Structure 1
Amino acid sequence: MLMVIPIEEDTMPATTGTKATAAVRSPLGDLNHRPHPGRHSVAADVLLAVTRVSLGWVFLWAFVDKLFGLGHETTSAQAWVNGGSPTEGFLAHAATGPFAGIYHDIAGAAWADWLFMIGLAGIGAALVLGVGMRAAAVTGATLLVLMWAAVLPPENNPFMDDHLVYALLLGVLAVFGAGRSFGLGGWWERTAVTRGRPYLI
């Protein structure tokens, strides 16, 4: 026997015009749901944070060593604080390839020294703190590609070297919002400085 189950009016979704105002949920959940790009598993967050800080330290160490001449790659006599040039040694003597002439011309220029050192410090600090990841990714990738172009072709590969890998890694960190992973990225995105300026996030 066919049974008919009555449906009370107040159980039906209210409608306005032709569109229903109450949605019927699927028992499988929202199949169109996508997680927030800044939310990851704990393991992913740890990996992003360690990678971000490690890459930031690469930039910061280069800045500190060239500034004070700690003896690792830069001697005390070559330190910027002692009158040395952070760019002259590399650009004047190590630059090779099709762009070598350009790099030789700017080697030791005051503006090149300042831009290079500000870039190292700013990019490194942004990565370690987790703020301004997009700006750090763009400026950092630009600096790395310029350094890659100064020694063409690379010593151990027809075109690929660690500069390009680091540049790609910066893009990955920015896309996945790595500044929010054990960093200050979440707080930075809510400040007045970044409001209406997504390029500063």
Structure 2
Amino acid sequence: MNATADRSTDTPAAETASPLRAPSDETASPLRVVWPVLRITMALVFLWAFLDKTFALGFSTGRDPKTGAVDLFGAAAWIHGASPTTGFLQFGTQGPLSPLFHGLAGNVVIDWLFMLGMGGVGIALLFGIATRIATLSGVALMVLLRLAVWQSATNPIIDEHLVYALVLIGLAITPAARTASLDASWQRLPVVRRVPILR
């Protein structure tokens, strides 16, 4: 046997068994920037929805649809007792599940679950803590919103809710997403060590 033939068998089985390989040094560094940026971007998506509905900042909440006038911190704000979900559940849902969502409109428990979900997921993603429960909750919220909307007006197959859900799954399974976060300190907390879902 010649030396060339021998060298072809020296490749470790782990390298040839699967086409999926760990990122090279050239790609690892960009990933350590891209994933944290995606994490913070998703945090702002959730946090903005929470803040706009809490204080009626005049974007999706607190703006008159007919005149465009903004009632900043007005009666539509959650802090003033307005329901953050009623408008959407009554008028923004469609499809075969819309009667179910209509029935949830004005339910204070649904309002609190929605707002705690949006705010909690946003804060967790911003600081890179409680990644498992945050991403699981975020994916559940996005899937429910997709079911409520049922079909995008511009794309019958995919919409931003499904894209956000996929990004959240990526954040959950990609260690680089925890770069520039408080994850290391969070993992050292006794309660986090005892309750795996909080990791």
Q: What TM-score comes out, normalization by structure 2 length?
A: 0.79
- How many positions carry a matched residue from both structures? 171
Aligned to 1:50: 37
* Corresponding residue for residue 5 of structure 2: none
| Aligned-partner residue type, residue 112 of structure 1 | I
| Contact 1:52 1:178 survives alignment (8 Å) | no
Instruction: Read off the aligned partner of 2:133 and give its amino acid letter.
Output: A
CA contact (8 A) 1:148 1:163 kept: yes
Tell me how far apart the structure 1 counterparts of residues 196 and 175 of structure 2 sit (CA, whole Å). Answer: 12
Q: Percent identical across equivalent pairs?
A: 42
Amino acid at match of 1:74: T
- State the distance in 2 between where 1:58 and 1:165 align: 12
Query: Which amino acid in the other structure matches residue 102 of structure 2?
Result: H
Question: Which is greater in Rg?
Answer: 1
TM-score (ref. length: structure 1): 0.78
CA contact (8 A) 2:50 2:119 kept: yes
Aligned match of 1:134 in 132, 135, 142? 132
The structure whose residues are more often helix, as a share, is 2
> Shift of the alpha carbon at 1:148?
0.3
CA contact (8 A) 1:152 1:159 kept: no
1:67 to 41, 49, 54: 54
Deviations for 1:89-137, whole angstroms, at most 9, x for unmatched residues?
0000111001000000001110010000000110000000000111111
Contact 2:31–2:176 (8 Å) recurs in 1:
no
**What residue identity is the alignment partner of 2:153?**
E
**2:85 paired with 1:98:** no
Which residue of 2 is the match for residue 19 of structure 1? none
Contact 1:130 1:178 in 2 (8 A): no
Q: Which runs of 5+ in 1 are unaligned?
A: 1-27
Superposition misfits of 4+ residues, deviation over 3 angstroms: 28-36
1:188 aligns with 2:175: no
The one-letter amino acid of 1:84's match is: A
